[in-house]
Chain A
Amino acid sequence: MKRRDFIHLSGLGLGAMMVPGLVAHSKPIEEAQLMSPGIDVAAKKLLADVALNTTKSLGATYTDVRIGRYLQQFLFTREKNVQGITNAESFGVGIRVIANGTWGFSATSDVTPDGIKKCAETAVAIAKANSKLQKEPVQLAPVESYGEVSWKTPIQKNAMEIPVKDKIDLLLSVNNAALDNGAAFVNSALFMVNEQKYFASTDGSYIDQDVHRIWPNFTVTAVDREKGLFRSRQALSAPMGMGYEYLDGLESEKIMNPAGFNSYRNSYDMVEDAIAAANHAKEKLSAKSVMPGKYDLMLDPDHLGLTIHESVGHPLELDRVLGYEANYAGTSFATLDKWETKDFQYGSDKVNIVADKIQPNSLGYVGWDDEGVKTKEWDLIKNGKLVNYQAIRDQAKIIGEKESHGCCYADNWSSVQFQRMANVSLKPGSEKMSAHDMIKDIEKGIYILGRGSYSIDQQRYNFQFGGQVFYEIKNGEIAGMLEDVAYQSNTQEFWNSCSAICDKDDYKLFGTFFDGKGQPSQASAVSHGSSTTRFDGVNVINTGRSI
């Protein structure tokens, strides 16, 4: 029996431990505790100094301490019922050291001077023990000493302060809207996260950060019992690095798309989207099955974000390129020799892809990463050419960088931080173009919106993506809904077929809360921005079967 099964087994009733996506060591708490501030900064500094002093006296050459309080509130409903309300807190400290040129890590939930001292001693002992197997000493890229600083996600409304009743009322009104419009079933959920992270290191930084994220989501299902068919449509929301204001549904953030319904930028109208979803789910039951072949694809940012994530974000993670993830997530086709030529044509010259940890409203947005590096934006692909990877302090030298990119992250105080994907985004086109302009030039195409089925090989060459809704494009116009659509391509071929990108007014963020990597696996939240983009002559297959 695996650990995960064991956790499932341990709650016979409605144990909060069964909720998916909770961070490690989470304990249920009362709603009011989500708003309590936790221990103050001065106390955290004193505790951090216990660790820094202990490890120094034991011969460590570098130490960082992360005191983390991870708050989560998850709400789940189904049709007229509330299925679950989880308020959870995970609190503890993780200490990472270099001793004898080797990493050591230890963590404890005993956040007292004694607990931290013991934990620091263990971290050094582990580093020294592991140094016997070490082949090359760790070398860290230099980092500035920032002193005592702080950063907070620029939210307008702290989602934790909104009463649960209001949130449940919203979800039940979303469900009612879907049911009133012909849905047979609807599940809706709200995920809210607040990471209160204190970082201190022997490089002289004491960094206090307060990070907020929110994700409204639903799945609406329509059923045709006579034909024995069912079809679903998920929310076209994105998880965001925002407060509860994301759910304001501002008209100014809506974009009417060429298929005739609203897409949402930095403000989401959940009820309106649920009505559209019910109508789409019903329409899908009788939509035309796609004729396989080559089509020009027009991909909405709600969809393209996942394609960027899988075919650009992951292959340009340096630890994958080097083979550290070979037994789990895989390696990468984007090998160092390709990058070294400075001429590897990843995509067409229209393709400019940047990585960042500073984009407002994004999931990756923080002031400093989890090893005290100030965050920034940098180029990954410039005019179609591969120019850089994502690297942290102990990797920077491998690609000749003088400093880390600032994309180190741990999903909990108890997990060791490592290189994770930054926000990876496609820059909008420089010429004025809306999705309505783009469609006019497409003779035979498919317009795809929403995140569907996705699969890519372990080196990120061959992929297949589905979506939530598909529309046939004929001679510059929408010609009705399609079903059974998936496109298959090769990363380099696909990005080189990119022929047009809408401008910045069409730009929006896609995201995921649960990007998985590492063994034991850690989750990370990441956004991907893009505007509606055209790809020419992509292979589309028909996924309809009869059983």
Chain B
Amino acid sequence: MAILTKEEAKAIIDKVLSYAKADETEVTISGGRTGNIRYARNTVNTSGETNEIGLSITSVYGKKSGSTTINELDDESLKKAVARAEEIAKLAPENPEYMPMLGPQNYGESKTFVSSTDAIDPDYRAQVAIDSIKPCEENNLTAAGYLEDFSGFVATGNSKGLFGYNQSTSVDFTVTVRTADGTGSGYAGKDFNDVNLLKSGPVTNIAVQKAKASVNAQAIEPGKYTVILEPMAANDLLRLMAFGMDARNADEGRSFLSKRGGGTKLGEKLFDERVNIYSDPNHPDIPSAPWSGDGLPMEKTTWVENGVVKNMYYSRYWAEKQGVQPVPRPRGMIFEGGDESLLDMIRNTERGVLVTRFWYIRSVDPQTLLYTGLTRDGTFYIENGQIKFPVKNFRFNESPIIMLNNIEAMGKPERTNGNMVPPMKIRDFTFTSLSDAV
């Protein structure tokens, strides 16, 4: 049984804690089922399902900590595991940054578990592949796709009385559709907690349309262009910035949030005033677990308000050292948008490039958050409010900081890879070379 109820998990955790002799002990049990199906060249390559349960114990003496993990939950195995963690802890070097374990916390209820996703079986996965491959075969196109689903739980408790339990589900589907002659390629993907929201046929159809429309792309000169980034493309760059807002790096002078002469850019206006970024574990579209990696309750947090940096992540250690409250790192970000639809943005564009997604994004300069990467699977030239023709893919060199100062318009945010991101129209986006890749 890979999923334990709250009561079952608590009973095991309490039992482990009763065996413990260390100064502090923490026990985490997690388990679940991960399933997947992968297809390419219009045929299924691999499919599988893994059911796993694991229990990890961290024992601490002073500032010395040791961990172990086991899969067997009988009393004898649990006793041995506690002894082993304690042995490892005694031999470990001191960690000067160790923070004492937290006492009881108030974790809210989460909406991360959906029973429909929990009910996914191999037949469902096969059907997703069939529904995706069939329209491609009928159109002389080639599909390659991947579905991964998860249903599981995590429970944690420690010798200071902390206890938390959460169940979650997720499903992630992506598909690449290529024309038989290799001159056109399209991509689409969706991720949800609730599999009922996933319609793999229509998602595939978006990739089909993009593949067909991208055939025989024309080369246009690289340079600075107004771009319309679909949410997937916008997310590719924005998430790199939003998840890099660590206070310690900023305080240490090695972050885009470090300030010349010392200090940080907290409280400064870094972006266009329309930029608002927050996280919320109870957001209906991207619910997340009620506690963070260091055990603190997750709360709604504003990161950027009207273009001003309002918060950075503070670990418990760094917060104490700096004399501030810790701010946990969130799991999903909400980038607020605007009113324009993607279609409106295209209609209102005199000359620009529509980007489906980016690929192979790598940091070029962490000082300025300059990134490079390429467009992929559906890049189109817009003129006088209409998509005119597909264009060859571009390499870009751009910083999301600069991007968020060049906003022309934003649309309604959509869930994309666990974040809520709007389509965005950005001026002066820097394309530095052309690629022949399709």
A288 to B60, CA, bound (A): 50
A414 to B50, CA, bound (A): 10
Do A28 and B331 have beta carbons less than 8 Å apart? Answer: no
A462 to B394, CA, bound (A): 9
Do A1 and B88 have beta carbons less than 8 Å apart? Answer: no
Instruction: Choose among A1, A228, A484 the residue that contacts B261 (Cβ–Cβ < 8 A).
Output: A228
B423 contacts partner chain A, Cβ-Cβ < 8 Å: no
A5 to B150, CA, bound (A): 12
A5-B331, A228-B261, A455-B373 known; A543 vs B67 contact (CB < 8 Å): no
Do A462 and B367 have beta carbons less than 8 Å apart? Answer: no
Do B97 and A28 have beta carbons less than 8 Å apart? Answer: no
For chain A, give the interface size range: 35 or more
A449 to B96, CA, bound (A): 36
Instruction: Choose among B156, B295, B363, B437 the residue that contacts A462 (Cβ–Cβ < 8 A).
Output: B437
B425 contacts partner chain A, Cβ-Cβ < 8 Å: no
Chain A, Cβ-Cβ closest to B289: A9
Could you tell me the distance in whole angstroms from the C-beta of A514 to the nearest C-beta in chain B?
Answer: 14
Do A547 and B399 have beta carbons less than 8 Å apart? Answer: yes
Do B435 and A462 have beta carbons less than 8 Å apart? Answer: yes
Chain B, residues 58-79, CB within 8 Å of chain A (1/0): the string is: 1010000101111100000000
A15 to B28, CA, bound (A): 9
Do A82 and B38 have beta carbons less than 8 Å apart? Answer: no
A30 to B254, CA, bound (A): 36
Do B261 and A462 have beta carbons less than 8 Å apart? Answer: no
Do B368 and A27 have beta carbons less than 8 Å apart? Answer: no
Instruction: Choose among B38, B45, B87, B259 the residue that contacts A228 (Cβ–Cβ < 8 A).
Output: B259
A453 to B360, CA, bound (A): 11
B433 contacts partner chain A, Cβ-Cβ < 8 Å: yes
Do A490 and B436 have beta carbons less than 8 Å apart? Answer: yes
Is chain B's interface secondary structure helix, strand, loop, or mixed overall?
strand
Do A541 and B150 have beta carbons less than 8 Å apart? Answer: no
For chain B, give the interface size range: 35 or more
A39 to B169, CA, bound (A): 38
Do A225 and B261 have beta carbons less than 8 Å apart? Answer: yes
Could you tell me the distance in whole angstroms from the C-beta of A475 to the nearest C-beta in chain B?
Answer: 29
B365 contacts partner chain A, Cβ-Cβ < 8 Å: yes
Could you tell me the distance in whole angstroms from the C-beta of B294 to the nearest C-beta in chain A?
Answer: 7
Do A520 and B148 have beta carbons less than 8 Å apart? Answer: yes
Contact residues in B for A416 (Cβ distance below 8 Å): 46
Do B256 and A459 have beta carbons less than 8 Å apart? Answer: no
A16 contacts partner chain B, Cβ-Cβ < 8 Å: yes
Could you tell me the distance in whole angstroms from the C-beta of B268 to the nearest C-beta in chain A?
Answer: 12
Contact residues in A for B156 (Cβ distance below 8 Å): 10, 12
Instruction: Choose among B112, B362, B401, B434 the residue that contacts A1 (Cβ–Cβ < 8 A).
Output: B112
Q: Point out residues on A near B: beta carbons under 8 Å.
A: 1-3, 5-17, 25-28, 30-31, 81-83, 85, 105, 109, 126, 129-130, 133-135, 168, 184-185, 221, 223, 225-232, 322-328, 330-331, 333, 335, 414, 416, 453-462, 464, 466, 484, 486, 488, 490, 519-520, 539, 541, 543-547
Top 7 A-B residue pairs of the complex, sorted by shortest distance between their CB atoms: A228-B260, A462-B435, A326-B144, A457-B437, A459-B437, A13-B58, A327-B144
